[in-house]
Amino acid sequence: MAFKIGFSTLGCPDWSLEQVIGIARENDVDGIELRILRGELNLPKLPEFSERNIERTKRLIEDAGLCISCVSSSARMGVVEDMEAKKQIHDAQEFIKLAHALGANVVRVFGGEPPKGVSMEDHIARVADRLTQLGEFAASYGVIVAIETHDAFTRCADVAKVLSRVSSEHVGVLWDFHHSYRSGETMKQSVEYVGKRIVATHVKDSRLLDGKVRYVKVGEGDVPIMEAIRALSSIGYDGFLTLEWEKAWHKELEPLSEVLPHYVQTIRRMLKAL
């Protein structure tokens, strides 16, 4: 069993695909999670991914010895209003098509926060229904839709309540274990809740300063990342450990070019210690 190492383009939001591929090769990573390119979050609209150009783009990635580990959408499954819900589902479907065209097998979606006046129980039921619908669509493309531990679903305990209502093998979890840990779960507890439904991860580290989270380089904070890796290893997970350096949302963070080499070295050292 061998973990794979990658990073999200959230850490280099203004870069072109060629620049992203360049830093990936420089640091000898295995794959890239596509979240944003050249400032655009709606990836399917980019010319690189048009029907005319998609095969060239795919070859560019493959010729560099890389793969796309995940295509991350902004789609939220818990919205209430019908027209908005249809838009969110449609957006997720477009990302599923893109993932399939690129040979990627995971698309990230969000559950989102419960709308005003909606109980968490009803929110969970609605998210589960939408994921069931999306899972059927994803199955026809050989893609897995992964709900991230984010928003109202940072705890795997709550994600597990959603998954208990969704039987499809094409619905899984993107475990951002930083968020679960900051929400009070141990790494062992999180993995026990969702187990083999984990199909992707986000890795980040932080410290609490004056009650606020401050992101730092992996290994320089207090998030027990080694515990997370051990927990993943215990269930046979052999997917990606993807650095999510939130430069797009936190402009004050160091550039990815300074952070990625440190991440790769740190994770490789941790993996050797398993």
Q: What angle do CA 99, 100, 106 make, to 5 degrees?
A: 50
What spatial distance separates the first Cα and last Cα of the chain, rounded to whole Å? Answer: 11
Cα–Cα distance for residue pair 123/115, rounded to 1 Å: 8
Please write the tens of the pLDDT for every residue from 227-236: 999 999 999 9
Please write the tens of the pLDDT for every residue from 105-136: 999 999 999 999 999 999 999 999 999 999 99
At residue 107, what is the residue type? V
From the list 171, 267, 260, the residue with the least C-alpha distance to 228 is 267
pLDDT computed for residue 50 by the predictor: 98
Q: Domains in the chain: how many in total?
A: 1
For residue 228, the enclosing domain spans: 4-272
Please write the tens of the pLDDT for every residue from 11-44: 999 999 999 999 999 999 999 999 999 999 999 9
Alpha helices of the chain — where are they, by DSSP H? 17-26, 54-63, 82-102, 120-139, 156-163, 177-182, 187-194, 225-234, 256-272
Q: For the stretch 8-46, what's the b/e string if a residue is b when 16 or more beta carbons lie within 10 angstroms of its beta carbon? A: bbbbbbebebebbbebbeebebbbbbbbbbeeeeebbeb
Write out the H or E segment, with its range, that includes residue 74.
Answer: strand 67-76
> Quick check: 5 and 30 in contact, CB under 8 A?
yes
pLDDT computed for residue 63 by the predictor: 99
Q: How much of the chain exceeds pLDDT 90, in percent? A: 99
Averaged pLDDT, 157-174: 99
Confidence of residue 193 (pLDDT cuts 50, 70, 90): very high
Structure-block tokens of residue 30: 């295995």
Residues 6+ apart with CB under 8 A from 9: 15, 20, 32, 33, 34, 35, 36, 37
User: What CATH number has the domain bearing residue 73?
Assistant: 3.20.20.150
pTM as predicted: 0.98
pLDDT computed for residue 1 by the predictor: 55
pLDDT computed for residue 263 by the predictor: 99
Averaged pLDDT, 245-249: 98
